[in-house]
Structure 1
Amino acid sequence: MTAPLLDVQGLGISVQGARANLVDDMSFTLHAGQTLCIVGESGCGKSLTALALMGLLASPPLAVTGGRALFAGQDLLAMPRAELRDIRGDRMAMIFQEPMSSLNPAMKIGEQIAESVRRHKHVGYEPARARALEMLERVRIPAAAQRLDEYPYQLSGGMRQRVMIAMALANDPALLIADEPTTALDVTIQAQILDLMRTLQAETGAAMIMITHDLGVVAEMADQVAVMYAGRIVESGPTEAIFDDPQHPYTIGLMSSMPSLGAHRERLVTIPGVVPQANDMPSGCRFAGRCPFRTSACDTPPPLEDFGGGHRVACVNAPLEASRQETGT
């Protein structure tokens, strides 16, 4: 197998005054053309991971405390800021969660897309504007030539998200990071955006990291899945393995809490308790306080162990089937 496009090992992120890292020992690899979905509830460190890779952490109070992130052999975490600015928006790009707060309200749509092209491709105004028009047409915005001279407030939420995708892909990046790209959209527009992203990824061959809390999106988009809880990956592996045979109690809880279509009227399963704050992190397994399978062994941080086929789980009770047979539960 070829070397991964992105190899993240041991990434740690802290905030001033906190006893524990907000993101701790984050490790994963991503190959060209693959999609990795990072999933977990709000506050687990998904967006912080993306911002760290893009060099966009608010520092202070946030800071990278360790690890490496090799992108095409270059460590993004150790790279000078000027060199990182040359890569960001060109070879790697990000689609933010809320385009209305990410787009410049005082600049026309065409100018914002063209600005990125001029910055990285060193072309004049007319070629950059032509590329902006081409990208708006590529993301299926109707009357694209007219939209070039409109402001973000004149567009719908779905169209603004398409503009963000056009801007991110304008320079044909090798890596695309999408942070909750469909959260604020209704289900019809969400399906259109996901279909668009799949199509464009297939055309460009870009690798993609998609951050989401929606397991339906994960099932539809991901080749690989990383489940995060309280700043740590608790389970990862191929999508089929995660959905067909989840092994971490937190992953099982997430899947059990998903609503389904049908005549069932039972209450949805909930996970009792709340995610621990940075100053209240337990010394062992961070999910132990909410876990129905907790034992004294959970007082030690569990390693992320491979159970075959790249399916890795950080739980002393995995595989859960064997543990339940041994305990008679």
Structure 2
Amino acid sequence: MSDTERRPVLEVSGFSLKFSRSAAMPNLVDNVSFAVGSGETLCIVGESGCGKSVTSLALMGLLASPPAQRVSGTAVFDGKDLFTLTERELADIRGNRLSMIFQEPMTSLNPAFTVGEQIGESVRRHRGVDRAEARAQALEMLRLVRIPAPETRLDAYPHQLSGGMRQRVMIAMALANRPRLLIADEPTTALDVTIQAQVLALIRNLQAETGTAMVLITHDLGVVAEVADHVAVMYAGRIVEYGTVADLFDDPQHPYTIGLMGAIPSTGKREGSLATIRGSVPSPEQMPDGCRFAPRCPFAAQRCIDAAPPDQPIAGVHRVACWLAPVEQSAPGAGQYQAAPMRKEVA
């Protein structure tokens, strides 16, 4: 295997960001690091307000500055730091080698243009083809994402399509130029379970065909179990646990991860109540000085309040930012919050 093949498609290191020039204001995203390779899927999971979407928008160069301000870090994509590129250089990459599926297709698609025109615009911009060729490639993409009667849907406007079909159009737009990296922000949130499964299967199949790397942002652990190779658990702007999907589901180490697992309904016999995590994600103005999860953690000690824990290796790529790790030794009661292990099924 060559060095190029081994090198991650995207490697984010020590990324911190805030929305204030005040030195006293804590970083909204703080010291985030992760990597994703060709054909791999990294899932970033956490509650709303944890910084997942802000991180993805920063990588795409879609945050206005000011107020957004990068404090530190790099995001190396295909050998170039995304954070140092000019707007023109970013425009050449976005929608081409780097694409994004946004959370709500109804507000992300332009209501004044047909879906064929919107897919074709990206093709024309990055491939330099004429309108006829762009339309033909847009039709090919609609067929690829399995939209019924694609010849008719090509001239339809977004409001004339169902939610599932609009999401498929978003996928077609994102993959039209065969990107090296796809960022998908909650791509199945507004869809019913059946359509969600179809969309996830579609993304997975297209990813296998093209070798596209994917960063999938979600709060749905069922989705994580289905598609992830690696998982980053994010809380209040920090990655608190990272590992393979098996690491996270079979041996969660951070109390926050354990709480998320405990909130998963079991498919077996109903016994007892689901675990809950008290409180809510702190606002930027109220970030704790130490571990940001400490005010909600049932096992927090004084050192958790006083200082932020460093990353600790568990095994392999599995790491956790928690003073209690390994949690089964320091906080044996944590097991009561954990749901039965959920393993990723192999197709």
| TM-score strictly above 0.5 | yes
Question: Any gaps of 5 or more consecutive residues in structure 1?
Answer: none
2:198 to 192, 195, 219: 192
SS in 1 for 2:83: coil
Q: Which residue of 2 aligns with 1:7?
A: 11
How many positions carry a matched residue from both structures?
327
1:74 to 69, 74, 80: 80
Q: Which residue of 1 aligns with 2:229?
A: 223
Q: Which residue of 2 aligns with 1:87?
A: 93
1:305 to 295, 309, 312: 312
Cα distance, 1:109 vs structure 2: 0.6
SS in 2 for 1:77: helix
Q: Which residue of 1 aligns with 2:31?
A: 25
Question: Any gaps of 5 or more consecutive residues in structure 2?
Answer: 337-347
Q: Which residue of 2 aligns with 1:36?
A: 42
SS in 1 for 2:66: coil
Distance 2:193 2:332 in 1: 41
CA deviation digits over 1:277-308, x for unaligned, max 9? 11111111000111111112212111112111
Q: In structure 1, give the amino acid aligned to 2:79.
A: G
Cα distance, 1:265 vs structure 2: 5.3
Pairing of 1:263-274 with structure 2 (within 5 A): 263-264=269-270, 266-274=272-280
2:217 to 211, 235, 255: 211
Distance 2:107 2:145 in 1: 20
Note if contact 2:230-2:244 (Cα within 8 Å) is conserved in structure 1.
yes
| Mapped pair 1:49 → 2:69 | no
Cα distance, 1:323 vs structure 2: 1.4
2:326 to 299, 319, 324: 319
Pairing of 1:147-158 with structure 2 (within 5 A): 147-158=153-164
| Mapped pair 1:239 → 2:240 | no
Distance 1:325 1:192 in 2: 40
Q: Which residue of 2 aligns with 1:102?
A: 108
Q: Which residue of 1 aligns with 2:178?
A: 172
SS in 2 for 1:100: helix
Distance 1:270 1:323 in 2: 21
Q: In structure 1, give the amino acid aligned to 2:232.
A: A
TM value normalised by structure 2:
0.92
Go from structure 1 to structure 2 and tell me whether the alpha carbon gap of 1:325 and 1:157 turns closer, same or farther (over 3 Å shift).
closer
CA deviation digits over 1:227-271, x for unaligned, max 9? 000000000011101100000000000010112334415332111
SS in 2 for 1:268: coil
Cα distance, 1:50 vs structure 2: 0.4
Cα distance, 1:58 vs structure 2: 2.8
Q: Which residue of 2 aligns with 1:258?
A: 264
Distance 1:132 1:6 in 2: 27
Tell which deviates more after alignment, 235-244 or 63-72: 63-72
SS in 1 for 2:199: helix
Distance 2:7 2:315 in 1: 21
Q: Which residue of 1 aligns with 2:139?
A: 133
Cα distance, 1:148 vs structure 2: 0.7
CA deviation digits over 1:53-96, x for unaligned, max 9? 00001322222221100001100001111001100100010000
Distance 1:132 1:324 in 2: 55
CA deviation digits over 1:37-62, x for unaligned, max 9? 00000000000010000000132222
Please report the RMSD computed on the Cα atoms of aligned residues, expressed in angstroms. Answer: 1.5
Note if contact 2:46-2:234 (Cα within 8 Å) is conserved in structure 1.
yes
Q: In structure 2, give the amino acid aligned to 1:93.
A: S
Q: Which residue of 2 aligns with 1:285?
A: 291
